[in-house]
Structure 1
């Protein structure tokens, strides 16, 4: 059987709904985190172009376009929500696949779930199927898509959204395989934004979510897709990752080992690949009083796959051109952490970006690429190490085994709730109610209350609408 066939039959079966309690809990935590980042993006209008286009697409009133008080087609709503979840780069990451899982699972689950009037339990099962799909499809070729200049979140996320939609639309296995085959022809997502600081990466999960729903609808209408879409000679891996992959690499342990529990919740609104370095800097400063004027040099050991994205070219990374550019600059982010003592959404505001003292300190951050064999299995799961060289010859070292928020160093419920509350920044009662309902998703009769709450909380403040 092909990987698509195995995935489809499992995703439509009892496995996702019967997942262990810790898996269902993890899925709810990630859906909550994703709604928080979506609300923050809606409130600040950072994804306004995608929301504007989604509203203009119109269509039947199937699903909520968050932050607008309006409804549109499920495809349009997913385009907006996918962009909103990812726009601040504060959404979760699966280290093995280096994909933003919730950014492609939540939009499809919310939009199609609203469209068909699914219960919370049905939506949760579809989300689990989607999480397992995107993480496994991406992790079969660690860093493979990124090496070829493609964003794995879009390349693999379209497959996940197709699975979520297929389950909620109650397609059979044959039609779901077709949906996966059709979705594969819509995979892509160029990383060229790294060269200019453009915001195209924000759109990728929106594209993937909308395209996955379209794929499922096309399959339901009779369109066909190749069942060898993943491992075939011209399939996803051969064409976009330049690798030959056995179907077993995607489906091994499916329903027994759960990737949903291995997704990292971000404590910093920036590229996951530099989180471990930020954690190492924070560890180095713990218990030490360091004045920025004392810092002669910061030396960071970085995984080679990370270096290509967040460290090079060094001269440009020290002076990012846009806020989104800064979110992919390890030297600039380290400098901001040293100066401010924290990295928050405000760190990457246009006003913050214009600070000359950050750029000056960023020029003193040097990265040393570690041999791949000694730096961890994959870049997003590698350990972190920094040396702070100070005036007078003093050297402070910081080491961490992995980034905070990952499966081995997870954020507790208190920290997750604090992140969610800060992102939402809305009415405390409505914020608490939304959190409670998402955590108890399986008990919701449908998505109407969750969607209405998220929609109201995501609306820009009057001063931000002008």
Structure 2
């Protein structure tokens, strides 16, 4: 039922939402490339061979479309700065932008076709995750990977102009590649590659379907489909398809002002708020009130890698209180003694919540006790960077750090192809 609904859907997504997410995602990829991230993925992508169909961001290197989708998916997600859908806890841009760019460039799709395909893929990805929040993560699965292959396959199928039946097969084939185990306790950086895996798998699934391979027709809600196989239960199909084409989940995707898990952003805003005007007195203790669903997912105190640091509530709150920012990029010293010492004094407890909002858009409170006996408190009702943030467009442009390429991408629906954006990007990078 779900596969059929999306395979037959003729989407008309709001172009300003799609292009905002593409601009933010492109900025994330360029920042990661500048920081030297994604080198293992780039090495492998180049070695895979194949025709030079698509650009490795920010250019000018070109590889096959599946290889470009893989490495660009890694780049968008590598620094933990890419957009996130709060209800589904998925990163739609990290999966869909690489497919839209790679296949869009390969087939010389128009800007309008790329926007429509990207919007469809992002919407499917968000809806699949939002139907069961946050069950994938509770079971140690990266929802971006598990759900992402379907968004990637739908995006690629649209750009390859597959008919509904072939598109349904592409989704079925993609289901054989759905996964993404999360095990942060043992370290490793493979999670940053999950969107790349999903993007590449989606492109290959669409190509296989076009070549005649078939897949299960009900790969999402069948007896042994995505939900039952990975979660043990199947949500009502209406939870995924209701309001399709009228209600857009992509409108709820947040832009991340911090390079950290979205579920800790409200706490970081509260920490930044309480830090203003704080006297130069040592901090004795820090108490954070956060939504109870988020707490078990962000409790690491002593990260061993930057990737682990991005998912640690204590580490990021300590970084904001000490530095005024939390941006654990590739070169951060996770052994920094002052942050580790303060993080050890951070405790967390369940805080108030709003049942009408997702776990990633909940309020947070940070309370400090100083050595002079005073108590200081910061509270925010919701994190910055969300869909209701009036400064959202300014945040996107400031984060992206791009010039004409961002201007062109923001108007992608009116362009004859993606090429003007890629050309401008190459010129900006010198």
The answer, yes or no, to whether TM exceeds 0.5 is yes
| Residues 35, 330 of structure 2: 8 Å contact kept | no
Q: Tell me whether 1:224 sits opposite 2:242 in the alignment.
A: no
Q: Distance in 2 between matches of 1:132 and 1:374?
A: 24
* Gap regions ≥5 residues in structure 1: 312-316, 422-430, 460-466
Q: Tell me whether 1:289 sits opposite 2:275 in the alignment.
A: no
Residue equivalent to 1:379: 359
Superposition deviation, residue 400 in structure 1? 1.3
Residue equivalent to 1:174: 165
| Residues 18, 118 of structure 2: 8 Å contact kept | yes
Q: Distance in 1 between matches of 2:332 and 2:206?
A: 43
> What is the SS of the residue equivalent to 1:332?
helix
| Residues 171, 215 of structure 2: 8 Å contact kept | yes
Q: How do residues 31-180 of structure 1 correspond to structure 2 at under 5 angstroms? A: 31-67=22-58, 69-180=60-171
Q: Tell me whether 1:414 sits opposite 2:404 in the alignment.
A: no
When residues 77 and 432 of structure 1 are mapped into structure 2, their CA distance, relative to the original with a 3 A threshold, is same
Q: Distance in 2 between matches of 1:67 and 1:335?
A: 33
Q: Tell me whether 1:364 sits opposite 2:364 in the alignment.
A: no
Superposition deviation, residue 375 in structure 1? 7.1
Residue equivalent to 2:296: 308
Q: Distance in 2 between matches of 1:36 and 1:457?
A: 12
> What is the SS of the residue equivalent to 2:224?
coil
Q: Distance in 2 between matches of 1:351 and 1:139?
A: 32
> What is the SS of the residue equivalent to 1:254?
coil
Q: How do residues 249-398 of structure 1 correspond to structure 2 at under 5 angstroms? A: 249-286=239-276, 288-291=277-280, 293-311=281-299, 317-344=300-327, 347-370=328-351, 377-398=357-378
* Gap regions ≥5 residues in structure 2: none
- Residues paired across the two proteins, number: 430
**Cα distance per residue 1:77-116 (max 9 Å; x no partner):** 0001100000000000000100001001101100000110
When residues 189 and 116 of structure 1 are mapped into structure 2, their CA distance, relative to the original with a 3 A threshold, is same
> What is the SS of the residue equivalent to 1:300?
strand
Q: Distance in 1 between matches of 2:73 and 2:425?
A: 14
Q: How do residues 380-459 of structure 1 correspond to structure 2 at under 5 angstroms? A: 380-409=360-389, 411-421=391-401, 431-455=402-426
| Residues 306, 332 of structure 2: 8 Å contact kept | no
Which residue of 176, 189, 206 corresponds with 2:180? 189
When residues 411 and 98 of structure 1 are mapped into structure 2, their CA distance, relative to the original with a 3 A threshold, is farther
Superposition deviation, residue 197 in structure 1? 2.6
Q: Distance in 2 between matches of 1:452 and 1:76?
A: 20
Q: Tell me whether 1:212 sits opposite 2:202 in the alignment.
A: yes
**Cα distance per residue 1:158-184 (max 9 Å; x no partner):** 100101001010000000111111111
Q: Which stretch shifts more, 145-154 or 391-400?
A: 391-400
Q: Distance in 2 between matches of 1:161 and 1:303?
A: 31
